[in-house]
Amino acid sequence: MSVIFWLILGALVAVGFAYVVKNWKLTWYEWVLAILGVLLILWSVQNYSASQLEHEFRAATYFLVMLGVPGLILAAIGLVLPAMRAKKG
């Protein structure tokens, strides 16, 4: 995958985290879950796109499911609760 794609993705993640730091208050375990979740999502994106290049379409789908879904769940748990707290507060 091109360098430019990763630069854009990296910038988006950085902006996202900057927003979270500024506006929400995360407990330490929410930070752990959010970071783990985002890392898993990024790993699944890399493996998915590389597997497409390798013509391993079955593997590509599995990477999305096996890494992407748990990543989304972890990130959601880590970010949804503080988002709700911020809304209430």
Q: Any contact of residue 34 with other proteins (CB under 8 A)? A: no
Q: How far is the CB of 23 from other proteins (least distance, A)?
A: 32
What is d(CA 37, CA 75) in angstroms, rounded to the nearest whole number? 4
List 24, 34, 51, 79, residue binding other proteins (CB under 8 A): 51
Q: Any contact of residue 26 with other proteins (CB under 8 A)? A: no
Q: Confirm if 85 and 24 have CB atoms less than 8 A apart.
A: yes
Q: Confirm if 42 and 75 have CB atoms less than 8 A apart.
A: no
Q: Any contact of residue 43 with other proteins (CB under 8 A)? A: yes
Q: Confirm if 74 and 33 have CB atoms less than 8 A apart.
A: yes
Residues 12, 40, 66, 3, CA torsion sign: positive
Q: Confirm if 50 and 1 have CB atoms less than 8 A apart.
A: yes
Q: Any contact of residue 2 with other proteins (CB under 8 A)? A: no
**Residue 26 vs 51, nearer CB to other proteins:** 51
Q: How far is the CB of 54 from other proteins (least distance, A)?
A: 5
Site residues, other proteins (CB under 8 A): 43, 46-47, 50-51, 53-56, 58-59, 62-63
